Chain A
């Protein structure tokens, strides 16, 4: 039994196409439509961090910050370690003035980056550190 098994079996190409469609709607600032497409994507591929990140962003842009937090949080569970979702959550928590929580998540992110071999993740965190400082 694979606990990561997606809810609906689809090919990687189809997931990519759904993401592209969502991206197009997202670029046009059609948050609700894009969110519907990203939800479809996540139904097929719940471990794809991009879906959670994009879905959270749709909610954030639509003024639903708390839902966005949940989406980013779900991403950290379903697509762990999900550095981008964690960083998006840190940024949003800071915007909401919840600095203590943001600091805790940021510390976890730093730890993940330190232990990660992924240059992109390390670069992402390094860039954010510079931005913050």
Chain B
């Protein structure tokens, strides 16, 4: 997946820490360094390319200004008119065929499907959106859109999330991610009881403040303890049937069911293991059942969010409008630069 690889690369490589950012940086109120990276360097970045073009225009302006000083009034007007024409053509060319042109085209495609609904819809169409991390994207995007549409307090209240338990996305979705990890890594065979115990202890050590993550680790441990190809294959099938799912919620629900299934099966397997593992197995089963409940709750939350957003697709329109405006700002800046010279 090239887009993913490039994106991660940008995060780890091209994002230098900006010093001294004050107003528009995450968490900068305490005076810490800016976290929000600037767009990438020239060649891969639209805005810097735009600025470079403007700088080149300014240089051209100096030359043309010298020429104008020596020219007649008529020639001067003609030169300005020609220069403006060239600028307009350059802007038009970039808009239609260049970097921003590609953006427009892609955004148009995305707009047809709708912003949030696009993610869900593409799942149905392509069957591609089957991973829990893609569900994170849907949940996050849906929550964000809902918050701007309905307000933070209302959306959180509707979801049943208090300020003390905020964090349902990473809690619930790390559970799903862990389940996926089990699905993708445990097909080969059984892990030892000792290994499961070690994982369980690791999960327990996370403590109450990371209950969701601990539960997900416990679920992973159980998956390892089971290690049965049938169970894993069943989970894989459940996750992999995105094409027949009507929404990502169903995928999430299936994941939840998978986790629950793994937990149930693990309980049975662990019960016949040596006695020194029995107490641990009981504990892990309880953890897995808790994780199953958490995942079900998450699926309900996500369903509610998507139901709300489905009836109000203004978010997609807003994104498209904002993008068009940003592109327009770039064009206007070019025109303004030329107007200053005139």
Which A positions have Cβ atoms within 8 angstroms of B?
1-27, 29-30, 32-37, 39-40, 42-50, 52-57, 59-67, 69-74, 76-79, 82, 84, 87-88, 90-92, 94-95, 100-101, 104, 118, 120-121, 123-124, 127-128, 131
Contact = CB atoms under 8 A, between A and B. Distances in A.
Contacts of B33: 124, 127-128, 131
B141 A20 contact: no
B103 A91 contact: no
B24 A121 contact: no
Which of A14, A104, A123 has the most chain B CB atoms closer than 10 A to its own CB? A14
Closest 5 CB pairs of A and B: A3-B131, A91-B27, A46-B137, A73-B170, A7-B119
Contact of B17 (A50, A57, A101, A123): A123
Contacts of A71: 140, 143-144
Given A37-B326, A95-B30, 4 more contacts: A13-B44, A15-B6, A43-B137, A45-B4
Contacts of A61: 24
Contact of A4 (B4, B11, B100, B156): B4
Contacts of B106: 10-11, 14, 44
Interface string B17-54: 10000011111111111011111100011110000000
A65 B166 CA distance: 10
A78 B11 CA distance: 13
A39 B133 contact: no
Contacts of A74: 136-137, 139-140, 169-170, 173
Contacts of B134: 3-7, 46
Interface string B161-176: 1010011111101100
Interface stretch (B68-76, B122-130, B223-231, B275-283): B122-130
B107 interface: yes
Contact of A6 (B3, B240, B322, B325): B3
14 contacts: A6-B1, A10-B110, A17-B102, A19-B39, A20-B47, A26-B24, A36-B145, A39-B319, A42-B140, A50-B7, A50-B11, A71-B144, A92-B26, A120-B15
Contact of A48 (B7, B13, B25, B107): B7
B12 interface: yes
Chain A interface mostly helix, strand, loop or mixed?
A: helix
B82 interface: no
A56 B37 CA distance: 13
A78 B122 contact: no
A57 B15 CA distance: 16
Given A37-B322, A45-B4, A70-B166, A59 B147 contact: yes
B17 to A, nearest CB: 5
A32 B325 CA distance: 13
A47 B115 contact: no
